[in-house]
Amino acid sequence: MLDKIWLLIFGMAVVTWLPRLLPAALIERMHFSRRMEKFLRLIPYTAMTAMIVPGVFRVDPQRPLIGLAGCLAACLLAWRGASVMVVVLAAIGADLLLYLVF
């Protein structure tokens, strides 16, 4: 029984890992147009937007501007070309600071 469980876990790991590995390994050999490269560079910001915007609309009803301030911080930094991690941490920091102050 335990062998089957380990085999199942190994199989799920391979099935999860393989679709992530292949594009990363093959992307060096692929040549994209400038337009496609720009599109691919914008995907992380699009995903981040999909995560942040719903939270902006579900902020504390007593302090709705806090969510908008975090969104504004994220938008400005993303527009200036900051990395995704910097943008997310800045939005969280702006919201946390405003929650502590107000």
Domain parsing of the chain, residue ranges: 1-30, 32-101
pLDDT digits (tens, 9 = 90+) for 23-49: 888 877 888 899 999 998 899 888 878
d(CA 79, CA 4) in angstroms, rounded, equals: 50
All residues at 6 or more sequence positions from 59 whose CB lies less than 8 Å from its CB, including other chains: 66, 67, 68
The percent of residues above 90 in pLDDT, for the chain, comes to: 44
- The neighbour count for residue 98, using CB atoms within 10 Å, is 17
85: which 2 tokens? 């991690």
- The neighbour count for residue 89, using CB atoms within 10 Å, is 15
Which pLDDT score is estimated for 72?
92
Q: Which residue has the higher pLDDT, 17 or 102?
A: 17
